[in-house]
Amino acid sequence: MAAGSLEQAGDQVGPYKLLSVIGEGGFGTVWLAERREPFVQRVALKLIKPGMDSKAVLGRFEQERQALAVMNHPGIARVLDGGLTPAGRPYFAMEYVKGEPVTDFCDRLKLGIEDRLRVFEQACEAIQHAHLKGIVHRDIKPGNILAFAVEGEGPRLKVIDFGVAKAMSHAMTAHTVFTETGQMIGTPEYMSPEQADPSASDIDTRSDIYSLGVLLYELLTGALPFEPSELRSKAYREIQRILQEDDPPSPSARLSTIVTKDRDRASRIDRVRGGMGTGALAQRLRGELEWIPLKAMRKEPQHRYQSAMTLAEDVRNYLEGRPLVAAPESRSYRLRKLVRRNRALAVGTAAVAASLVVGLGLATWQWREAVAARDAAVASEAAAIEARDAEQRRADELRQVSDFQASMLRGIDTNGAGAALMRDLRSRFAAAAMKAGVSEPQRASDAAALTRLLGRVNATDAAAHIIDQTILEPAIEAIERRFKDQPAVDAQLKQALADVYRQIGLPSKARPLQEWALATRSRVLGGDHPDTMASMGGMAGVLVDLGDLAGAEVLYRDSLGTARRALGNTDPVTIKTVGNLAFLLRLRGQFVEAEALCREALEGLRTTLGPDHPDALISSNELGALLEAQGKLDDAEAIYREVLAARRRVLGNDHRDTLISLNGLSVLLASKGKPEESLPLSSEALAIGRRILGEEHPDTLSYISNLGVLLQELNRFAEAEPLAREAVAIRTRCLGDDHPDTLESLGALAWLLRRQERFDEAEPLMRATLDGSRRVLGGEHPDTVRWMQNLGNLLEAQGRVAEALVVMREALDVRRRTDGDEAPSTIAYAFRVSKVLMGQREFQAAADLLGPFEAPARKVFAGAKARNTANLLILLSKARLGASSEPSRCAQVEPALREAYSILTAGSEGQPADQDTRTCMQAMVDLYTAWEQNEPGKGHAAQAQEWTSKLGQAAAPTAP
């Protein structure tokens, strides 16, 4: 019999017979149990101890049992059953796993590094499944990840004890730490910094990522980051401080310390590492491998891997020789990986690079000689012919030099520069520490501290600032000084600089350069020259970035007219301009013209460049966005998936266009009501965007905003609000109050606050959004109408129905004027406004409003969407009956309700009636009751009784 338990072996708990105790903690006991009927099955039965069964615990326990039951993954021990003992104490019946802690399993089989990593991948995949179901484990450790061998398949894992600690507010193990003022749920050695704070309310899936990092650290080194005996000897507050502030040593440094200080332990590690000694193991860890657990264990959740699957993918990157996400971002690192996999190609590439350097030197020398030739030509009339030749050579050579300089400017990589900056700082710091005679353990600790501190600075943003100050601004001065007499070269280089500024997210600094390039090329080259048209398109792009959509449209249309006339419809410049105008018109809500232009551009690009060319993929993705904007979501999804797959294949995961596809597909899936599919895509886009684009890049801001909206849709408000506020703050600072993107972020924050019923905070933000949208986009833009609707919803939620109806009617009037009465969105919003009027008992007003939409609804909502028509008929009938119950009105309402009932029950014979059907039945009861009162003795009472009986039989079943 287990201590503190009333049960003993042989007792019956539900259908299960207790066999033996297999685990015990302060709050519960785990039994091996067996059932015989309807089949023989052994389970791990978890039973709450007497005295631990408060109402709060029981409620949370049952809630958690139901949550766990939704998981279905081969790597997770399933919850099979649950219930209460005769004494009223709850129990879980879980899949019985005959395994051993994963670290013991790997040591017993003496698995090498590669095999341990493959086992670890399985754990990540199981945890990822739980995260997608909205469940955070919070106690990941070897004892909760049981490993076993399957004949013919190799090692397999089962993760156990999901969420039990959360369900009970205590863990069922003696190793859980808790305090008088709050509970630290989990095991301290594996616990994330945020989990160590019992008052923290923002623990999310990234806490599990930290614990997985500790597990990987232990699998690789045979030791934990913090020595358990030392950690547990500390007072609670000191444990909390260590977890939140002290950086663990790198795996290689930890192993080196063990080799130096504890030879017996080092020998034990030697024996279970597949023949690899601790010295060789430390050396191997010191390369790329230790980057993975160290990234997973970052103190700041936003700097860890953002999902368990991303962590698993980086493990696979290591195993397959690809660059690591955890690696310091640098071109040299990725080049080394490429050379290692493609040595023959690398030799040829090196030869090309060498010839480029030689050619650049030759071009520079030739340019200087050309200048000397020009000066000599002035001195002698006899040398006039030679001077003219030299001038032509100088112009040609200068063109080559300027082309090269422009290409170099466009090739600026702020991400690579930022990573190189941080890498250089760390390298110099390490060299200075070594020169000063600092010990190796202290150097490792100091280096880890420096890395943690540098992690608070966005390397890409820092590099962008440095590049602007040290390269771009001096380049502007140099161009104006050296090429003031060569306007074509001046314009070309300033156009290149404008492109760079747009690329690194500084459109306000691009604008004066772009204006100069356009004006100069128009004057020197003429309006029909391809370079002039390119600058006109660039100027329009800058205006789009700055929110001036009307100004951009004028430029795009002028540029397209010129291109069609001067170059023809199939010229690449014309095709690009067609696509740019299509993009702009989508932003302005002019979808019909935009789609026609987009399809024209896409066909032209596929014909001239091929379907997988990056420009063709951009155009294809734009077509998907247009279809999405028009509500053609299935067609849009198919295009988005096709483009994303092509971009991953052609451009790689870290390319900016791939990020756009990730984000676009994520947003679409959320729109289709698939938030669980959308979330990992959105998280991946944001994580990569922060890293390669920087915190303030417009694309990164879009990813921040979109992830915040998605979390809001999943009711994860605590995670969504910081993202929403971050997007508003950065966009306001970088783009200004009136930029459409700033307004979008402000409106999203207002809606988030409204959903939390923080009305006083939400209303001024929502009104500011609507006012700004009216001012910037116009009163009839779809976004403006959306903000009207949201404001109406907010006012109604506060009980200010009269104010709400004013705004809601205005939004509906605009929809009717712009989209027409047959647009599904117009009909849906008319229905919404009518329901509000019904709630105010303004029956005739509701009937007058909704009546004109009866015919359009029958036309639009056919087939599978016919239920929408039925619901409109029910509401319209109730409004008409509420306004008057005279016999003539009842006769008008009856066929509409019978039609609605027929639509709702078609094909559902034998099925329980849903809520819409029961609403229709109640409307029938109300109809015949009113009819009987106004025209007695005509059989209406019997009809009322018949429908009352039907309604009683169709009552919703009581929830168990």
The catalytic site residues sit at: 139
* Cβ contact 168:57 at 8 Å: yes
Phi and psi torsions of 837, nearest 5°:
-60, -40
For the chain, counts of helices (H) and of strands (E): 42, 11
User: DSSP characters for 924-954?
Assistant: HHHHHHHHHHHSTTSSHHHHHHHHHHHHHHT
Q: How far apart are CA 201 and CA 59, in angstroms?
A: 20
Place of tokens 């069964």: 53
Judged by phi (left if over 0) then psi (alpha if -120 to 50, else beta), residue 583 lies in alpha
Judged by phi (left if over 0) then psi (alpha if -120 to 50, else beta), residue 936 lies in beta
Amino acid at 308: A
73: enclosing H helix or E strand: none
Question: Chain-centre distance of CA 800, in angstroms?
Answer: 36
**How many CB atoms are closer than 10 A to CB 211?**
25
Place of tokens 């049992």: 65
Smallest Cα–Cα separation from 231: which of 260, 190, 199? 190
Q: How far apart are CA 126 and CA 105, in angstroms?
A: 18
User: DSSP characters for 300-319?
Assistant: SGGGS-SSHHHHHHHHHHHH
Judged by phi (left if over 0) then psi (alpha if -120 to 50, else beta), residue 652 lies in left
Phi and psi torsions of 615, nearest 5°:
-65, -40
147: enclosing H helix or E strand: strand 145-150
Question: Chain-centre distance of CA 783, in angstroms?
Answer: 22
**How many CB atoms are closer than 10 A to CB 248?**
21
Per-residue HEC secondary structure of 519-556 comes to: HHHHHHCCCCCHHHHHHHHHHHHHHHHCCCHHHHHHHH
Q: How far apart are CA 810 and CA 790, in angstroms?
A: 12
Amino acid at 573: V
Q: Which residues are CB-contacts of 651 (< 8 A; sequence separation ≥ 6)? A: 614, 657, 658
Structure tokens belonging to residue 805: 């109806």
> Which residues, listed in sequence order, are joined to residue 35 by a DSSP beta bridge?
41
Burial class (CB in 10 A: 0-12, 13-18, 19+), 345: exposed
Q: How far apart are CA 77 and CA 94, in angstroms?
A: 7
Measured in Å, how far apart are the chain's first and last C-alpha atoms? 34
Phi and psi torsions of 225, nearest 5°:
-55, -45
Q: How far apart are CA 503 and CA 486, in angstroms?
A: 26
583: enclosing H helix or E strand: helix 572-587
For the sheet with 79-84, list strands across it: 12-13, 16-24, 28-35, 41-48, 90-95, 79-84
Q: What is the DSSP letter of 6?
A: S
Structure tokens belonging to residue 529: 């020259």
Smallest Cα–Cα separation from 789: which of 762, 768, 764, 815? 815
DSSP-derived 3-state class of residue 15 = coil
Phi and psi torsions of 563, nearest 5°:
-65, -45
